[in-house]
Each structure stands twice: as C-alpha cells, then as structure tokens.
Amino acid sequence: MTLSVSVADFARLIDGQVVRSSPVAITGVADPETAQADQATFFLERLPTPTGAGLVITQTKQDCPGTAAHITVAQPRVAFAYALAHFHPEPIKRPPVGIHPQALVHPTATIHPTACLGAGSYVGAGTTIGAETVLFPGVYLGDSVTVGRGCLLYPQVVVLDRGVLGDRVILHPGVVIGGDGFGFTSTPQGQLKVPQVGRVVLEDDVEIGANSTVDRATLRETRIGRGSKLDNLVMIGHNVQMGQDCLVVSQSGIGGSTKLGDRIIVAAQSGIASMTHIEIGADSVIYGRAGVHKSFPSGSQIAGFPAQDRLRERRQQVSLTKVPELLKEMRELQKRVQDLEQAQGIPRTPQA
C-alpha cells in the first residue's frame, strides 16, 4: 500500500521526534486497544494503556510497551489529524470528475472542468461552481448561487438562490442554506409574511453538520465567517453575522440578527434569543444548554438560563443546592427565637 511510511517518515509527517525507531512500516492509525503491529496509536486525553501498536505517539517521552517505536510531538491532537489525513485522503469516496449524465445543469451555469457533479444533482441558472468542488448525488443549487473551489456538498444539500459559498466549504447531508427567515407581522387577518429577499454568505473553510439550517437575510445577508464550524441540527436565523473560527455545537440555535465575534464557542443545545440584536464579543464561550437574552463583551464565559457570567451562575447553582438545608435551619432558628421570646415574656405567636 503506497500510503505506508517508515517511522522516520511518520515523524516528519507529524513534525515529531523519534525517541525509539523500529523497522516496521506503518500502514494506519488505530485506537490503543485495537492497534496492530503495523499501526500507529496516539495517547491523547487518555493515560498510557497497554497496546499492540507498532508505533506510539505521545506528548512527552515515556515507557512504551514492548518493542514499539516511539515518537513525541508537541501537539498530539494536531499530529493525530495530520496522520489520519495522510492515511485517509478521502474518507468518503467522491464521484468522478465531470458532470454525471443524470445531473441537471442550467445552460447559463458555469462549471469548472475539474468539478464533480454527481447523479441527480441540480444546478440553477447563472450559478457558478469552482475548481475541484464536489456535488454528491442529489445536491440542489438554485439560481445565481456561487460556490468556490474545493467545496464538498454531500447528498441532499440544498442551497437556494443567491447563496455564496467561499472555498473549501463543507456541507454535510441535508444542510439547507438560504431558506426563508422566519419573518411575520401580525394583522387582524392573521400573520402576514415579510418577504425575505437577502442571501446567505458562507466564507472560506466553513463547515456545517448534517441537517443544519441557515436562513437567508430579510434584506442583506446572513454571514458565517471564515473557518467557522457548525455541528448537526444547528439553526442559524436570518441576518445573523458570525465571525471567524467559531464553533457551534449540535442542536444550538442562533436567533435572527445576532452578531457573534471571532473564535466564539457555542456549546451544545444552547440558544441565543432573536430580535433583540444581541452581540457576543470575540473569544467568548457559551456553555451547554445556556439561553442567552442579552449582549456580552469579548472574552465572556456565559452559562445558565437566563445566561450570565459563568462563575456567578455556578455560585448561584451551588447556593441553590443548599436551600433544603436552609429551610430546616430556618425552622430551627424560629423555634429558638420563640423560646427566647417566651423566656422574656414576649407574647408573640409562633410561626405557622
């Protein structure tokens, strides 16, 4: 297998130091528990464990099992990512370059000759697709959509009209880009729809997980900044402006018109309320299941519902666990005060 590498080449691949070499050719990466003599294994969060791996990679030098080769590397998780990428250049097999005869491409669309369009993919009028971009079978691109270079659009992805995708954007199956924002206004005849005439822009290196949705803006654009990564079943409301390198974990929802700075982490199942033009400053962390109703400055640690500073929230949570005891103490103290009052002849009625 041409992907197999010597221990020395493996060290070069991950920018590590060979502590102990061996003549074994490494053909892949595996968990410590299952790794074989021709496989490398990484000790990441876990403590060192017995392993049959032929090569062990750790952050600091340590006793390694048997005759296994040993490499140290400053950042094992980064090294792990590089090693996996070497051995698995295409974890999901792509359709071949070119336009499948059962793809449907509008004559005014512009498709780069190195792009791949799978069977049953659909490309609307005036849409442009860049070099080496892949549309798996069943992808739908509306009219006037722009897709950059090196994008991966998995089956059943939908990008409606005017959507803009930068380079190397990855959309997992079932992602919907550019549905109508949820805009209605009450009238005596019921809810009147506010047309949503804007678009969605996904900058370079954005990745969005399966069945997530990003609504298009009312007037201008909903924008996800360069390098931001969204997990599955995430909801991004209309007009949201998200900065660069954010992480939004699964089932979180960012309400319409929210502004998020760069490098924000939104943990799972959180929500930010819409319509109040909330702004969250850069480098903030929103903890899991938080419900955010107001703006926070850069570097905030945000938790709870209604969300507040995380330390304060934690202190409050801890105090709440003491309430049952507090109730008992109150009963007791009331009794003691009553005793004191009686001793002094104060004719107070006892508490109910």
Which residues are the active-site residues?
238
Q: Which is nearer to a second copy, 20 or 95 (CB)?
A: 95
* 29 vs 39: CA distance, rounded Å: 5
Segment (H or E) for 320: helix 310-321
Closest CB to a second copy among residues 118, 261: 118
* C-beta of residue 161 within 8 angstroms of C-beta of residue 179: no
Question: For residue 48, what are its two tokens?
Answer: 């060192």
**Least gap, CB of 224 to a second copy (angstroms):** 13
Residue 282 burial class via C-beta count within 10 angstroms: exposed 0-12, middle 13-18, buried 19 and up: middle
DSSP 165-220: E-TT-EE-TT-EEEEPP--EEEETTEEEE-----EEEE-TT-EE-TT-EEEPPSSS
Pair 25, 35: CB distance under 8 Å: no
Is residue 57 within 8 A of residue 12, CB to CB? The reply is no
Query: 200, 234, 230, 203: which is closest to 217 by C-alpha?
Result: 200
> Which residue, 13 or 235, is less far from a second copy as judged by CB?
235
Supply the minimum distance, in Å, between the C-beta of residue 91 and a second copy.
5
Q: How far is the CB of 157 from a second copy (least distance, A)?
A: 9
**37 and 22 in contact (C-beta within 8 Å)?**
no
Nearer to a second copy among residue 130 and residue 271 (C-beta): 271
Q: How far is the CB of 335 from a second copy (least distance, A)?
A: 10
Closest CB to a second copy among residues 23, 228: 228
Looking at the Cβ atoms of 3 and 67, the one nearer to a second copy is 3
In the complex with a second copy, the residue whose CB is nearer, 67 or 319, is 319
Strand 69-72 versus strand 17-20 pairing type: antiparallel
Q: Are strands 55-58 and 301-303 parallel, antiparallel or unpaired?
A: unpaired
Q: How far is the CB of 245 from a second copy (least distance, A)?
A: 5
The count of residues in the chain is 352
Enter the DSSP assignment of 47: P
CB atoms closer than 10 angstroms to residue 62 = 12
In whole angstroms, how close is the CB of 258 to a second copy at the nearest point? 12
Residue 184 C-beta: closest distance to a second copy, Å: 6
The CA dihedral of 90, 93, 99, 100, to the nearest 10 degrees, is 180
In whole angstroms, give the CA distance from residue 207 to residue 202. 9
Give the residue carrying structure tokens 């019921």.
190
DSSP letter for 301, please. E
